[in-house]
Structure 1
Amino acid sequence: MSGPAPVTAEEFQRLSEFLYRRTGMIFTEAKRYYVQRRISERMAATGATSFASYFARLRSDLLGEVEQFINAFTVNETYFYREDHQLHCLTNDILPERTKRKSAGEALRIWSVPCSTGEEPYSIAMWLLDNWAEVDRFDIEIVGSDIDTRVLEAAEAGVFSKRALMRLTPDVIARYFTALDDERWAILDDLRQSVRFTPVNLVEPTETRPNGQFDVIFCRNVLIYFDDASRRIAAENLYENLSPGGFICLGHTESMSRISPLFDVRRYADAIVYQRPMEGARG
């Protein structure tokens, strides 16, 4: 039995525009095969016999198909302690600067978005426990968010493959994980319960605003999938989710200076990061 017919140029355009309006992600003609594969998977899963019938289901959001459609297009390749130079910067420079203005016991909020299957927010929690002497002086809240609801479920479960742990030393693994078998490791319950997970779409302020303001945001390797207009919208939303004086860390190939003038560039020994100015800091 043959699979769905390849999407036409017009159908590809309609799908790309739909995905762009919903997520800010842009797919050019060069991604036609990538899009075709995922549409074929969703058509098979829903029993759609033609592009027209599937697209009608998508537009009506029958049985939550929009969520499943978006989930099919997200990229979730990650591992623990990825780009750990930013973790060094977090404890050496960012947090000491942020906590100068805080009293013992005050809230310190860190947001990992997109968080994928949880490696990044859990990495932040582990790193703080092992490398920041002030960790017990503040009420630390770590939130992980993603547009893909499947990866949020996996993050909350806290079970990881051996590959996800490849950058961790044996002593770190022994402290924070329990082996389930030769290939799967479960993060300790206390650590799993220290991170809260929420769904979010970075280009929708009605979804970003409810998460409140943070002292530090890690937003790595997602803006590269947006076009210039969506990047600016996402940057403005992230700006509103930062407390005045708060910091944002991007992926190593990304530059906020090329996206938005709202942030100040801060250069530290371990990383270049971006800061929301303090109120009244700019004339």
Structure 2
Amino acid sequence: MKEPGDGVILSDELFGKFVSLVYQRTGISYENNKKYYVQKRIEKQLERLQVDSFNEYYLLLKFSESTSEFDRFINDLTINETYFFRDFPQLRNFAEDVLRAVVKEKEKKGDYKIKIWSAACSTGEEPYTLAIILQEMLDEPDKWDLHIVASDINSDVLHRAKIGQYDYRSVRDVPSVYLEKYFTLKNEKYSILHSLRRSINFRKINLMDSEAVSDITGCDFIFCRNVLIYFDDRSREKVLGDFYNCLNPGGFLFLGHSESVGRISSAYKSQRIGDSIVYSTHK
């Protein structure tokens, strides 16, 4: 029996329609060099639904009253590998330089609240890493009101993040002392301690949904690393503008090492703190 999509090439015209639909709804941009990647994800959905044509599936995504199929397609398109303490030099800069300076200023004002948004949290390694850093870097963490918003557009990875259970590949860069302190090991799975999860609120958010993004206010830090590379300049400008409104005056935005604010937005102040360039809102 012939499998759905077997031996059929996705036309350039229909590929353009698929990626245009994804772009309109998510801001994520797929160029022609991603055609094979996108086609394989579409074929997987055709096989699951027993749909015979790419066009039939496109019409289903575009005109269905429910967004469930589109959401499932996006889940398959946006699975990204991550791990604890990814890009350690930047995290060290955050912990030892930026966070320390912010905490010092807050203590002067008697302000003991810290809010962080992990804006593309995937399976949760980043927000849990940030929670560990806060526990380790604050002299009296119990004195602080710590709140981490962890969001992603992918509901599958969010479900895994909430469970907080990982294999060795994900925790391979976690310092051994932290591994013993914040994880329990059972059946070769490392589970995050419940006490660490309490400060984290997982939410499904499409970064192009300004209304949903505007609900997140009062952030001291936003981490959105290795996400803007999937957007075009128009989408990046929109997201960066919304992030600016989410941050407190003097709040900080952390991007991936290959990403930059400079060419896209003039709203942020670029400065060197420690050994890294960081972006902040104006006080």
Task: Output the TM-score relative to the length of structure 2.
Answer: 0.93
One of 52, 57, 65 as aligned partner of 2:55: 52
- The partner residue of 2:232 within 217, 227, 234 is 227
Q: Deviations over 1:124-167 (max 9, x none)?
A: 11112123325333211011111111111000000011000110
Structure 2 counterpart of 1:256: 261
Q: How does 1:56-95 map to 2 (within 5 A)?
A: 56-61=59-64, 63=66, 64-95=68-99
What is the correspondence of 1:114-129 to structure 2 with a 5 Å cutoff? 114-129=120-135
Determine helix, strand or coil for the equivalent of 2:203. strand
Once the two structures are TM-superposed, the CA of residue 244 in structure 1 deviates from its matched residue by 1.2
Is the contact between residue 104 and residue 137 of structure 1 (CA under 8 Å) also seen in structure 2? no
Write the distance in 2 (CA, Å) between the matches of 1:69 and 1:44: 13
Task: Provide the rounded CA distance (Å) in 2 between the counterparts of 1:104 and 1:181.
Answer: 45
SS in 2 for 1:257: coil
Q: What CA distance in whole angstroms lies between the structure 2 residues aligned with 1:261 and 1:61?
A: 39
TM superposition shift of 1:203? 1.8
* CA distance in 2 between partners of 1:201 and 1:154 (Å): 18
User: What is the root-mean-square deviation in Å for CA atoms of aligned residues?
Assistant: 1.6
Residue of structure 2 equivalent to 1:15: 18
Aligned to 2:241: 236
Give the Cα–Cα distance (whole angstroms) in 2 for the partners of residues 86 and 104 of structure 1: 28
Q: Residues 48 and 33 from structure 1, CA distance in 2 versus in 1: closer, same or farther, beyond 3 angstroms?
A: same
Moved more, 43-52 or 101-110: 101-110
From 118, 131, 136, give the equivalent of 2:142: 136
Structure 2, gaps ≥5 residues long: none
SS for the counterpart of 1:115 is coil
1:29 correspondence with 2:35: no
Answer whether contact 1:117 1:155 (CA < 8 A) is retained. Answer: yes
After TM superposition, give the deviation of residue 195 of structure 1 in Å.
1.1
Amino acid corresponding to residue 2 of structure 1 in structure 2: K
Displacement of 1:105 after TM fit?
A: 5.7
- Identity, % of aligned positions: 38
Q: Is the 8 A contact 1:105 1:137 kept in 2?
A: no
Query: Runs of 5+ in structure 1 lacking a partner?
Result: 279-283
Q: CA distance change for structure 1 residues 61 and 98 in 2, over 3 Å: closer, same or farther?
A: farther
CA distance in structure 2 between the partners assigned to 1:121 and 1:217 by the alignment:
11
Separation of aligned partners in 1, 2:252 and 2:168: 32
Provide the secondary structure at the position in 2 that maps to 1:231. helix
Equivalent in 184, 196, 216 of residue 211 of structure 1:
216
Alpha-carbon distance between aligned partners in 2 of 1:92 and 1:204, rounded to the nearest angstrom: 33
Q: Distance in 1 between matches of 2:2 and 2:276?
A: 51
Aligned to 1:281: none
Letter aligned with residue 151 of structure 2? S
